A and B are shown apart, each in its own frame.
Chain A
């Protein structure tokens, strides 16, 4: 496409030929590339702007402290917000031990056997399973077989399974940053693996693991499809009283409002989206801050 094609023999005016660049092609291509990057980003900025404009009238204290309502103007997201907070807490409770534990097992314990190869393959496979299918698993396993009902705990368990592949991957990456020499130093001091892990490996990779956990949770906070499948409610006019309570969550509330034809509810959806995005940004911010702080503590 752009390769120069001079005749094989050197041109008569070789000095002049040397000076002719092919920069025009390259400049055009660079512009095209920049456009390709700018287009989606601009789209997002414009859409984000319209979103905020649409949401603005609804964003106020009462929006966060009210229950949903048939009247868009007085509806709020209190149950959704509380539901999301509880859901995330429970999900973290289930997912962190499993995810970090599996990562530690794979990095520190598993020898290269068929079993560990199977585990690897399995994690790759799980990462590619659409989230709605985790919802079907949760619906059968947690809601029906374990009879947890359409409850907070069933929702959290489902989200925890969904998070596992990502958590395992980020935790393994963090574990791999701990140099092998330090493990050897521990072993040479007569430590077993458990002590090596607790005293040296885990303290060292903690910033990475924590950051990974928070980033994973910030992904989970926006997950909608599996919660819909296990039957989170779109209209909840009460706060959850126990782990077995029916619940709603922010993304479910958003979906519920988006699905209504009235424009006033669209504005509510926009406002709820702004809240959700702010929560996500906060979590990301905390993750970055934590990583910086903990890293400083280690090297300082």
Chain B
């Protein structure tokens, strides 16, 4: 295949600012960022609590979480699909084939990553800070806000890992979103569709745009955390 055609397709997509294409990009970002955000709101405190708390079964939970980081997206998608289908337990909500369904599926994919990496980061930080924090009266769960704040740069990396998994993922959003044009079609499902239509340059062009977006977000996050980390030492 002509490499030039791929770049040309990618270039035309970006320069053309086709509203359909922009809609796809916006939806992709919206679904993925919302999923990461929700996973962060749940996963950061939970991961930190898991780092500090000692209770029976903790090791088992950690092992399970680490294993869930490798959960195939299709399996997560299928589970959400069966849950949200009209014939499933949450059917009456009518959420199947909506962006909300895609967000739910991606939260399930991202959450284990956020929790597991947060636990690691907070555990390391706690072993460094423990004496001082306990000395000034912040013991146990009361130390969590300080630890989350001081671990912010390492935690940003954890969220980026989650973002990467969600934005690259196609199996789950395809199943629960249905790849409906203009409604649940994301970058990755559009790539799948164009591939099946045999328009490989367009598919790869879309891939190139997705890659550039991911690269941009990572670069911004990396730069911000580097500057911040330099400031915080």
Question: Do A and B belong to a common assembly?
Answer: no
B contacts, CB < 8 Å to A: none
